[in-house]
Structure 1
Amino acid sequence: MLRKHARRSVVALGTAALILGWSPTAHADQVFHTTQYPLSSVAGESTHGWVIDVHTEGPRIYAQERYLLRDVDPGQTYVVNLYAYSDLDCGDIVVAVPGMATMTANASGNAHGAATFVPAAVEDLPRTTYYLRWQVTDGSGAAAYQTDCVAVALD
């Protein structure tokens, strides 16, 4: 008898959730999809990592970024900085966001970091296309790795 009532309760809860529009999963941004940008050495060497940019279109999280470095100096501390430009050549800076994340390379030369943007952090920015470059500095503050200049639409 108890199982019968429990089963009815689960069915009733599921029906109510559908009627009220509740969804148990987060929805991805319908304009901007998850993107990976390579982090290449400023000295012109090969790729040493990635910026993974995820927009979630949620009420608590606007976007999440993950930073990964590989084959770098073990024990070295790195800082991720984000620069937004108004032009395709990344020449006219609009916003600088230094110190997005700090990460230290492990003994194998791998490092990772993360940053989360809440909706309030971007609410005053015009909804337009920005041209972004992520730059990673080493412990001395010198630019070590960076992405190409990439277009990102702020929706």
Structure 2
Amino acid sequence: MEFDKLTVALLQNTSASVAEGSREYLALQKTLLREAETEWERRHIRRLVAHHILSFAHFRARIWDEYRTALLRVRRLDHPSLEYRMHAACETLEWAADRDPTKAALGWAMVEDAERRLQRLRRGNPVRKQALAAIASVKQRVARKGLAPPAPPGAARRTSRAASAR
């Protein structure tokens, strides 16, 4: 509940920078950590805060260094669940498509990793179905902006062998 209130307040404040948002989320984290009783709870709170900062950076970061700082925090703390991993991957790919296409390769790699992990879940798992659909949607939006996934490493060799066999 507190995360939601803070997120709404920060997004309504159009002048709030990524640094200001991070400070606000970290202040909330400090409050929540005082109430946590176990190490698992503390770790989970830190991970959730890191993901909220990344989501805020997705909207407000104008340069790579601002976004990268939030992304590195998430990577250092790891993801609380596979859904959060997928969410971070999709946000990174979309951020790169909108602001810095040179970083798209990282976004594509993160999306492929999340997709591979999701495909290991049972076929009937609703998380698998929803998350794979979300990834497909993001891929379509990014492709419409002109960013295609990088070719697999062996694709160039296979193509040239096929061409020389003709």
Common fold, TM-score beyond 0.5?
A: no
TM-score, normalised by the number of residues in structure 1: 0.24
Larger Rg: 1
**Higher RCO (CA 8 Å, separation ≥ 6 residues):** 1
Q: Give the TM-score, by structure 2 length.
A: 0.23
Structure with bigger helix share is 2
Compare the two structures and name the one with the higher strand fraction: 1
